Amino acid sequence: MTTTQAYDPATDSWRTPAPDPLPISYLACGGVDGHIIRAARRRARTRPASAAPTSPG
Distance CA 22, CA 56 (A): 41
Distance CA 37, CA 21 (A): 17
Q: Give me the pLDDT at residue 40, please.
A: 77
Q: Give me the pLDDT at residue 47, please.
A: 54
E strands, the chain, are 6-8, 13-15, 25-32, 35-41
Contacts of residue 6, defined as CB under 8 A and 6 or more positions apart, other chains included, come to 14, 15, 16, 17
9-57 pLDDT tens trace:
899 999 998 877 767 777 788 888 877 777 877 666 655 544 455 444 4
Domain boundaries, the chain: 6-41
Q: Give me the pLDDT at residue 46, please.
A: 56
Confidence of residue 8 (pLDDT cuts 50, 70, 90): confident
Distance CA 41, CA 37 (A): 14
